[in-house]
Amino acid sequence: MRYLTVTIFKNQVFIALFLILSFSCSDEDLLPDAVVLNQEPSEISSDQMPVIVQKSEAEKKSETETDSTEASSNVLPADQSSNKVSNIPCSTGSSSATEAGAKVWCWGDINIPSDGFFDDYKLFVSSHCSSNMVKSSGGRVQFQVNPISPVASEECGSDYNYRAEIREHPSDVDYPIGTEQWWGFDYKFEDGYVADELPWILWQTHGSFSIPSNPMTSIQLGPTNYNGSLNPVGELFVVNNSLSAEGKFTPVGVVPRAGQTLKIVIHLVWGDESNGLYEVWVDGKKIYRKQERTVYVEKPYGGYWKIGVYKWRWQDEGNVAVSNQRGISEINTSIGTLRTIMRRPGDPEYGDDSYTLVAPD
């Protein structure tokens, strides 16, 4: 009997050691081109800032388990299927923001003007405060923001350049509750990119209204310890401002490097706490999934999308100087083929998993 007890105890110790070693393995191989800081995204809002610093690692991990569990399906079933569906072909073409269905912009035969509308008024160059900051070359759209060159126009209201984006048109599309959208594109941080201690946005959805003024949802590059989180400079954040005045800022463990290209897929359902949905994948790994409000309470409808560089802090001379001290004089990024889908409740394929259809090349 004593021998049996000792044997069972040894087996239990062996199993415990095996589990500890197993859970200590890194998942960096899932994102070979990215710096992966953590396996689970942590949800932090700015009103928790004083509390977060004082909490133990176990408590902080417990608070994030819900979001981490929902985002734990890192590799999509479609990626493992032998009957893999192809993404939307270039022949599909594009359409305006008000038209439902699949859309694609392959850029090779699209002329982008120095400013204003293009692609038969389906898209618009949104730049502040100079023209020629968005260009097309080699089948890609290039975004360049240099705060002092070209010299900002007097009509802009700022002495510095801080925005180079494209957006869909019309901007007053005001998607009804229940509308779902998918986006897929690759986003390259060109050679010379340096992470900054001032945040900026690479993708956002914005309302046709001016109040509230913040984007409903966005993907941002954050400074060190952004809004109370514990993160290095330049980490990617999934942001939802529709939840509260403070917004929710979730670091996802990806820090882009110069020359790196991220393959990004986003899925949104415009709605409240009961029917809103926000999902994000980077390089095939689901980094965020949450059923949550995606529209403002006071403005309960969805907004138009924008992609590029929005460095709003560069409107201020002091912030331009801060970036210069870090050796950052401009930001250069680009996107490849852009695929989107918009569906309304009742449309064919509404609610279908469409990751593969919009997946970047």
What share of the chain has pLDDT > 70, as a percent? 77
- 313 vs 7, higher pLDDT: 313
Q: Over the chain, what is the mean pLDDT?
A: 83
Q: State pLDDT tens for residues 115-150.
A: 999 999 999 999 999 999 999 999 999 999 999 999
From residue 206, alpha-carbon distances to 169, 232, 252 in Å are: 12, 27, 22
Over range 282-298, report the average pLDDT: 98
Q: Answer whether residue 36 shows pLDDT above 50.
A: no
Q: What's the confidence (pLDDT) of residue 153?
A: 86
**Weakest mean pLDDT among 9-18, 132-141, 234-243, 347-356:** 9-18
**Weakest mean pLDDT among 28-32, 110-114, 179-183, 315-319:** 28-32
| Residue whose structure tokens are 């510095």 | 160
Q: Answer whether residue 43 shows pLDDT above 90.
A: no
pLDDT level of residue 58 (50, 70, 90 thresholds): very low
Domain limits, the chain: 37-358
Residue closest to 271 by CA, chosen among 243, 253, 292, 251: 292
Q: What's the confidence (pLDDT) of residue 246?
A: 93
Q: Answer whether residue 174 shows pLDDT above 50.
A: yes
Q: Answer whether residue 114 shows pLDDT above 90.
A: yes
Over range 51-59, report the average pLDDT: 37
Q: What's the confidence (pLDDT) of residue 32?
A: 32
Query: Strand ranges (DSSP E) for the chain?
Result: 35-36, 44-45, 101-105, 116-118, 123-128, 134-137, 140-145, 163-168, 180-189, 200-206, 217-222, 235-240, 248-251, 254-255, 261-269, 277-282, 285-291, 304-310, 331-335, 338-343
Q: Answer whether residue 361 shows pLDDT above 90.
A: yes
Q: What's the confidence (pLDDT) of residue 71?
A: 60
For domain 37-358, is the CATH number 2.60.120.200? yes
Q: Answer whether residue 48 shows pLDDT above 90.
A: no
Q: What's the confidence (pLDDT) of residue 249?
A: 98
